[in-house]
Amino acid sequence: MTAVETRPASAGNADDDRARLVVVGNGMSGARALEEILTRGGGEQFAITVFGDEPYGNYNRILLSEVLVNAAVDAAVADEEADDELFLNPVDWYDDNGVTLHAGVRVVRIDRHSKVVYGDDGSVAPYDTLVLATGSRSFFPPMDGMWASDTELTPGVFGFRSLSDATGMLRHVKGRRTAVVIGGGLLGLEAAAGLQAHGLAVHVVHPTEVLMNQQLEAEASKVLRAKLEHRGMHMHLGVKTAEILTERGTVSGVRFTDDSTLACDTVVVTAGIRPNIGLAMVSGLETQRAVVVDDKMRSVDDDDIFVVGECAQHRGEVYGVVGPLWEQAAVLADIVTGANPDAEYHGSRLATKLKVAGVDVAQMGVQTPERDSDEFVRFSETGRGVYQTVVIREGTLIGATLVGDVSKVAALTQAFDSRSALPEERVKLLFDLGSADDSSAAADLPDDTQICNCNGVSKGDLVGCVGGGCESVSAVMNATRAGKGCGSCKGLVTEIVEGALGGAGTADPAEDYYVPGIPMDKPTLMAAIREQELRSVSAVFEALAPEGRDHVASKMGLTALLRMMWPDDYVDERDGRFINDRVHANIQRDGTFSVVPRMSGGVTSPDQLRRIADVAEKHEIPMVKLTGGQRIDLLGVPKEKLQEVWADLDMPSGWAYGKSFRTVKTCVGTDFCRFGLGDSTRLGIDLEERYKGVEGPAKMKLAVSGCPRNCAESMVKDVGLVAIEGDQWQIYVGGAAGATIRKGDVLATVDSHDEAVRITGRFLQYYRENANWLERTYDFVPRVGLDHLIAVIVDDVEGICGDLDMRMQETVDAYVDPWAADQSEATPGQFHDALPLIPLPQVPVRSSSGAARTGAGA
């Protein structure tokens, strides 16, 4: 590790008569205390020196999981300004503020009598006031196989506490298949999400049945668990790890206390943290769980030594979340600078809002009722992954837990912090029962309401920033750091800032980027790709991304775009695909997959049905289910069996897994229906056969109805066709009937089957070329405008219809059935490691008496 020293021009000046302030620790607490001191004029009072173990400036530890996801950290460490969100105070900031920084230097001794600290590089720094902000470290429980030596972990074993931990993992995970995360707390789940983003199968091992048991009670944990399992994480709860297995000097698996084993090539240990109190102990300061302090944040042994953050123990409590640490830093700065000599820290009421592996979670106060008289309101909607509770005592909110939906967290936090009066109908704490909408609620929040817990930003701070000249949401976020932590408050920050701007703000260019890793909107990006003939995701990053850096979260969007632009000669890089696209099947909550063969227009045959039944029996597929798209879904297929199932079915892929053309739902039309006006079945089959597998910014579902009775629900599909009198077809676009409900708009009325097929393809191509990544048609159509779509696609006012038809034809001509093409592995491990970890769904089999029993083959 290389030490870095920055020294302002005034450092070492013999005429400098300022008192000497030394801060030991350059993590989030130490840097926050330094900022608070400087805000109160500490730069004029003190010659300030900071020591930090790590060889760079101060960074946001909350974003370490984002570092894993974005995989841009190596470049960021080399040039901190390249990642403004990760680094809070880069090295230049210290010089700019007159602070001497010893980065990468550990303080090993404090001479309290002489008031001097000693660094491990031989540096010596005298002090008049000393601040200890040594933070905490990962706890590695004693177990065989953990350590290669007294100081080095076994290769493949990592903590998850520092930037070096994250960079080590990034270097290690390339080409790895399976990771075990020991510990299902917040850090463990964040590490799991980061590793999963790199394509690893991730197993979380936790000693209790409750995930995040420090923050959540059992029922809330169950909802969180279900959401994470739905995203492909494997959970081993109530399980303890006894040993890390090794082979040839590196990790090969783990052994549990019941003597069962799990093969893996990566282990991340997130079994808790321990305060770094060794320096305080050898210096003779009072320590228990951490360094004991009084209400002024001073060591109880030495009035010239202050302590802040996770290494401080105040009134028996040690805090590990940022809110209390910011409060401690403010009191410390008031005392050190004399800005408020009467300031005292009396402890914190914990209110935490987090984004855990992409799931919003908020918790404050107690988790469950503690007295018989406590009121308890609970709402659980497990299908949507939402769980909410509030606990009320004597008319005051004393606790709340929110999972999945945290839209009420600001109002609940305000009620919790201020102990304000609550509505008589307690359910109104969670729901707007005919009251003002959320934007009104945000506008009505008091200015002292804390909006960003990670960085201690209030509503008043946001509004004041707008008053000070910031003219966009991003400008306010950059100035205050609101939303720069876990990110769960971004929506509320946006509402408040936009309300304060009153429509007078400026647009944020980043809002128009097609993918976050490349600063271009879609038309500009496509033009650059065509001009430079970039045919792979890596080539796009190298040519167009800042400093040529990869950005994991941008890969899938770029993959879809390049496939659309270069259907014949796109260079396929499998790490640019979602897991579903890599294996051409939909991952399920237990790690198995669903297989949906194509049945164009919802029409099948006895031969296909026999084959499906034979395959289901041969491979003991636990559930066979009809889908809403008029197909048959084989659920519970292990990844290693996918190729065998495809071969035995001998049917083409139904593309039920991709951001692509999915299916065409039809009614029976004129073949059998008494009301049929058009041959909906034939048209549906022809549409699906022509546009099968066409990829887009998001999935595309179609339907064809033989008359306006709309039995195929065509008016609420991405594209829907309805037969009307006069042998005509009406083409609806932008419909939806899922979480969003929208009736489609009539794009055109056409006179023939062929024209219906052509206009449908033309719309799909225009949507593919102009929609944002993951923007469904029900958002795209209103954004672009129906009149514009009619003018361009039907009336050809821009003269591009021929080009649209040609490019769609190129895509159709380039189609290859993925189930046939991937009968051998395209990449190592493509069809390996799908270990079921929970009981699979049981198929109910009914006897002739009507009683239900569980099928033996389930």
The DSSP code sequence of 808-820 is HHHHHHT---HHH
501, 471 Cβ separation under 8 angstroms: yes
Residues in the chain: 858
Nearest to 537 by CA among 523, 553, 521, 524: 553
- Rounded to whole angstroms, the Cα distance separating 138 from 162 reads 9
Return the pLDDT at 695: 92
- Rounded to whole angstroms, the Cα distance separating 639 from 490 reads 37
> Which H helix or E strand runs over 388?
strand 386-393
- Rounded to whole angstroms, the Cα distance separating 719 from 702 reads 5
The one-letter amino acid at 39: T
Return the pLDDT at 432: 62
Q: What angle do CA 467, 472, 476 make, to 5 degrees?
A: 65
Which residue is listed with tokens 């090993």? Answer: 108
Partners of residue 637 on adjacent β-strands: 593
58, 164 Cβ separation under 8 angstroms: no
535, 569 Cβ separation under 8 angstroms: yes
Return the pLDDT at 578: 67
Please say whether the dihedral angle defined by the alpha carbons of residues 211, 212, 218 and 221, taken in this order, is positive or negative: negative
Return the pLDDT at 855: 38
- Rounded to whole angstroms, the Cα distance separating 306 from 333 reads 10
Q: What angle do CA 210, 215, 219 make, to 5 degrees?
A: 45
User: Which residues fall within 8 angstroms of residue 86, CB to CB, at 6 or more apart?
Assistant: 59, 60, 63, 66, 67, 73, 76
3-state class (DSSP) for residue 543: helix
- Number of Cβ within 10 Å of residue 174's Cβ equals 10
Burial tier of 343 (Cβ tally within 10 Å: 0-12, 13-18, 19+):
middle
Q: Which two tokens stand for residue 858?
A: 């389930």
Q: Which two tokens stand for residue 652?
A: 């083409």
Which residue is listed with tokens 């701007």? Answer: 501
Alpha carbon 526 to its chain centroid, in Å, reads 27
Q: Which two tokens stand for residue 664?
A: 């065409």
| H-assigned helices in 86-217 | 91-96, 163-173, 186-196
Q: Which two tokens stand for residue 519?
A: 């600063």
Return the pLDDT at 839: 44
Mean pLDDT by 10 residues, the chain (858 residues): 57 73 96 95 95 89 73 38 65 92 95 96 96 95 93 94 89 90 92 86 94 90 90 92 94 95 96 94 95 97 96 94 90 97 91 78 90 93 87 93 86 82 86 49 75 80 89 84 71 84 70 88 94 94 91 86 91 76 79 91 94 96 93 92 92 89 94 91 96 94 94 95 94 87 93 97 97 92 94 96 96 91 62 45 41 37
What is the maximum alpha-carbon separation in the chain? 101
Q: Which two tokens stand for residue 238?
A: 């109530």
Return the pLDDT at 452: 80
- Rounded to whole angstroms, the Cα distance separating 490 from 462 reads 12
Burial tier of 78 (Cβ tally within 10 Å: 0-12, 13-18, 19+):
exposed
Residue 256, phi then psi, degrees to nearest 5:
-95, 170
- Mind listing the pLDDT tens digit for each residue in 434-454? 444 444 466 777 887 778 877
Return the pLDDT at 508: 67
